[in-house]
Amino acid sequence: MESSAPGKVILCGEHSVVYGEPAIAVPVTGLRCRARMAPAMPGSGLLLVAADLNQRTALRTAALDHPLAALARLVLEHLDCDEPDAVLTIHSDLPIAAGLGSGAAVSVAAARALAGFLGHVLSEEVASALAYEVEKLHHGTPSGIDNTVIAWERPVVFVKGKAPEVLEISIPLRLLIADSGFPAATREAVAGVRQRRESDPDFYEARFSRMGALVRMARAALEQQDLPALGRLMDANHALLVEIGVSTPRLEALVQAARLAGALGAKLTGSGMGGNIIALVTMEGAPAVAGALRDAGAVHVWQTVTT
């Protein structure tokens, strides 16, 4: 029994989405987390194996806040099933703590594999809701955008607390994703923004509402198939993310390199303070931008095309 889930990038609207503004996210279908269930000896219980991290944890003895164990317990409770005698093995292509949704992808893939092993299929809603509970362990106060776009595996317009709207994209959306090589904890980036907002609410509220307006314009640009306009809106979103203090010199170097090499737009993606940037490119322009990103220090450059 095997299941997989994609990574994700936020096209625009990170951070402001925590405060009720909309955001757009797209799945990264080429970077995936895979979860496999295999039967084990009777009485052995469920063993959780994070293969890339070389970690093996028995569900019975795992701490309450162990993310994979927490997810397994939530799935068993939801399905009203006993712990099976089995091994759940996770392999992931996704860098950890890099804004690409690694935690939510593990949760969604694992939930589906465990449920499948027990003879159940989880709907998008349920997979997303279970993963959201685990996101709270990772992130503290997550908006829910990661688990949503990853469980649906479709581009979404997301507003916290509301059902996601699937966005039909009728023009290929080509993004380069460049990894700064510096992981950063979402929990800390989000907490930092919250603290700064408390000491200067007017400044932060103004930026969040501008980000929300940019997201609405980005949606219109996508609907009108106007990629140059979308690129300009991504640049403007990045400028606001710089103002709320979540960029770093390394991320700036990558964003600048992408723009100079001809990207239509570039911005950090996810919580910032490290992690990845995205650059909107044309098919013809992609190789030059990818080369410039590598020259500027990106440790990985991936390409994803959403249609």
**Across 193-288, where does the E strand assignment appear?**
265-269, 276-280
CB of 216 to ligand PMV, least distance (A): 17
Q: Mind giving me the DSSP string for 90-127? A: EEE-SPTTSSS-HHHHHHHHHHHHHHHHTT----HHHH
- Give the nearer residue to ligand PMV in terms of CB position, either 84 or 101: 101
Which position among 65, 85, 93, 146 bears the catalytic label? 146
Q: Which of 15, 154, 174, 259 binds ligand PMV (CB under 6 A)?
A: 15
Instruction: Give the per-residue contact string, 77-116, with ligand PMV (x = CB under 6 A; - = no).
Output: ----------------------x-x---------------
259 binds ligand PMV (CB under 6 A): no
Please give the C-alpha separations between residue 236 and each of 101, 267, 293, in angstroms, as whole numbers. Answer: 23, 9, 20
Distance CA 84, CA 151 (A): 24
Residue with tokens 């950090």: 268
- Give the nearer residue to ligand PMV in terms of CB position, either 115 or 146: 146
- Give the nearer residue to ligand PMV in terms of CB position, either 101 or 164: 101
What would the two tokens of residue 249 be? 């010199």
What would the two tokens of residue 293 be? 């990103």
- Give the nearer residue to ligand PMV in terms of CB position, either 20 or 116: 20
Q: Which of 21, 93, 146, 235 binds ligand PMV (CB under 6 A)?
A: 146
User: Is 226 part of the annotated catalytic residue set?
Assistant: no
**Total number of residues binding ligand PMV (CB under 6 A)?**
16
User: Which residue of the chain is nearest ligand PMV when measured via CB?
Assistant: 270
Q: Which of 4, 107, 143, 247 binds ligand PMV (CB under 6 A)?
A: 143
Q: What are phi and psi of 21, to 5 degrees?
A: -85, 160
Q: Which of 5, 14, 66, 296 binds ligand PMV (CB under 6 A)?
A: 14
Distance CA 173, CA 24 (A): 13
With beta carbons less than 8 A apart as the criterion, state whether 31 and 69 touch.
no
3 state DSSP class of 24: strand
219 binds ligand PMV (CB under 6 A): no
- For residue 278, what are the β-bridge partners? 177, 267
Residues that bind ligand PMV (CB under 6 A): 10, 14-15, 17-18, 99, 101, 139, 142-143, 145-146, 186, 190, 270-271
Catalytic positions are 146
